Structure 1
Amino acid sequence: MSAGLPIALIQTRTPATAAAGLAHIEPLIRQAATEGAKLVLTPEGTNLLEQRRDRRAVAITDEDQDACVIGLRHLAAELGVWLLIGSAIVRSGHAGDDRAANRSLLIDPHGGIVARYDKLHVFDVDLPNGETYRESSTIRPGDAAAVADTPWGRLGLTVCYDVRFPHLFRQLAKAGASMIAVPAAFTVPTGEAHWETLLRARAIETGAFVLAPAQGGTHEDGRKTWGRSTVVSPWGEVIGKLDHDDPGVLHATLDLTAVARARAAVPALTHDRDFAAPR
């Protein structure tokens, strides 16, 4: 594992079709690579954001037929970068279930898919401002956590709402993750109240870098997302942040030796104890 990893987080305002999603994000990824990033991460819903069920049913396709996924695999190979597609909304592939998968894909510099992760926790909520979300009606949750090997260390995969489940992050860290991705499309009310606090807490608890590329702004389907893509160090410091919800590129350099220092200073990952559950 080497220090000084140049990364880039891509913040988007993804449209409602995969072809438009690719056209939207490609120039931002090219910019990131031109400016030196070796690992590029994109948000949740990189290929499309469409919450209207009838339109989503028309827009989604299988992973290997999605125009944005195909285009980004070719782009990673062309640019010679590692690329995390924070998630693509694609058919789940489960017979008898017409819900989609919210699937994170790690692409190597040859364009190959080296890891997949389907979002474990789906967001069903009635917000105080009157907004209602029922992600479970259109997204089939995954059933397995994922950690992937990279040239710089292990990368733990999560998506958005997963950030509220610290036990998942703890398991990723115990599986060797020195970096944990949190691609997201946070709502504005929850983003304003909780986004940075949750990201910093997960970094502190795991002693890992937390890399959180986000969607931002008002989308074609009417949803509004918070933006504020953020990079947090293993000590809980915000070392990079976009202070807006517009599309853009956030660069950071990760000193991966900081992971061992943080975990040595607070070795909580080694201090778990069995205990009786409360009654």
Structure 2
Amino acid sequence: MQKEKLKLGLIQTKQNRNYDFHDTEPMETIEEALENQKAMIEQTTRLMEEAGRQGCKLIVTPEAVNFPGLKRFHGGNLPDMVPDERDPLWDRWGKIAEQYGAYVVAGAYNKRNGESGSCPCFNSAFIYAPDGHRIHVYDKVHAGRDESIEPGDHFFVWDTPFGTIGVCICWDMQFPETARTLALMGAELIVVPTWGWEHLYAQARAYENGIFVAAAMGIPYEKPISGVRSPSQVIGPNGAVLAEASRDQAEVLVCEISLEECKSFREIRLGDRRPKLYL
């Protein structure tokens, strides 16, 4: 059966003061940090709805859109400032998926009760089906060195009428094993909620696995995207950049792709592997 074409909507947000990682002095109260957190959630949600109105059938946000700022900013503790499993935000995003008949991949910090009675925090991607139900919560496997989160313990792909889609988050993509594992699990497209997208490794991951890669990026506080960083992008299985957002504007990057196009590229890149010889 031929797969449907996919209209992809990548949400590119403009970060606020909670994301000013270069400031070394305490710069806000807990109340201000919570207001900034709320503002970012609202900005992201508005853009998600815009993507839905444009007919996008897969909507992806940046990572951790509810980031409350670092403890050194305001003295607050992460578990006290991020939502748990009962938070209405999760249902709100599910309703957007249902309203527009779209898959949604939304990046957010969250906390969950652990087996030992602890309540660890995770940097996750909440994945919704077009009927609004939550398919899965993927937890970032490779935690950054300054992230006070519990790392995930598995990778995830799911099947859609458009093809098989995999998900990872930001720092995960720095490791070639992440994309290769997802590709071997059948992913024809990897979507990446991120704050730190770099086209150099991104194009390599798409090319070396013969798959599509798409990232939703956030614009840093008080400056455009610069240096080695790249805006939100869609990259084809030949490594070419198919669509790219601006470096200084919050927006929805829309791109239509056919995941069937990666079939021959996947066969070339993955068909002659000799895994018994690999460490």
With structure 1 as the length reference, what TM-score do the two structures score?
Answer: 0.82
Q: After TM superposition, give the deviation of residue 205 of structure 1 in Å.
A: 1.5
Identical-pair percentage: 28
Matches of 1:88 and 1:164 in 2, distance apart? 20
1:137-187, Cα deviation, whole Å (9 max, x unpaired): x1110111111122211111100000111112111111111110111011x
Matches of 1:181 and 1:170 in 2, distance apart? 14
**Count of paired positions:** 251
Matched AA of 2:51: A
Give matches, 1:1-279, under 5 Å. 1-14=2-15, 17=34, 19-52=38-71, 54=76, 56-65=78-87, 67-85=88-106, 87-94=107-114, 95-124=116-145, 134-135=146-147, 138-186=148-196, 195-218=198-221, 228-264=231-267, 266-275=268-277
> What SS is found at the alignment partner of 1:218?
coil
Asked if the contact 2:233–2:241 (Cα under 8 Å) also holds between the matched residues in 1, the reply is: yes
Q: After TM superposition, give the deviation of residue 22 of structure 1 in Å.
A: 3.0
Matches of 1:3 and 1:262 in 2, distance apart? 19
Matched AA of 1:212: A
Asked if the contact 1:242–1:250 (Cα under 8 Å) also holds between the matched residues in 2, the reply is: yes
Matches of 1:163 and 1:198 in 2, distance apart? 8
Asked if the contact 1:216–1:226 (Cα under 8 Å) also holds between the matched residues in 2, the reply is: no
Matched AA of 1:8: G
Matched AA of 1:57: P
Matched AA of 2:82: I
Matches of 1:64 and 1:272 in 2, distance apart? 46
CA 1:76–1:20: 2 relative to 1, 3 Å: same
Runs of 4+ in 1 over 6 A off after TM superposition: none
CA 1:107–1:274: 2 relative to 1, 3 Å: same
Matches of 1:162 and 1:10 in 2, distance apart? 19
Q: After TM superposition, give the deviation of residue 118 of structure 1 in Å.
A: 0.5
Greater CA deviation, 175-184 or 18-27? 18-27
1:104-162, Cα deviation, whole Å (9 max, x unpaired): 111112211112211000111xxxxxxxxx11xx1110111111122211111100000
CA 1:64–1:155: 2 relative to 1, 3 Å: farther
Greater CA deviation, 90-99 or 174-183? 90-99
Matched AA of 1:259: C
> What SS is found at the alignment partner of 2:220?
strand
Matches of 2:248 and 2:77 in 1, distance apart? 25
**Structure 1: gaps of 5 or more residues:** 125-133, 220-224
**Structure 2: gaps of 5 or more residues:** 17-32, 223-227
RMSD: 2.2
CA 1:212–1:247: 2 relative to 1, 3 Å: same
> What SS is found at the alignment partner of 2:154?
coil
1:59-82, Cα deviation, whole Å (9 max, x unpaired): 2121331x4333211222122211
Q: After TM superposition, give the deviation of residue 32 of structure 1 in Å.
A: 1.2
Asked if the contact 2:61–2:193 (Cα under 8 Å) also holds between the matched residues in 1, the reply is: yes
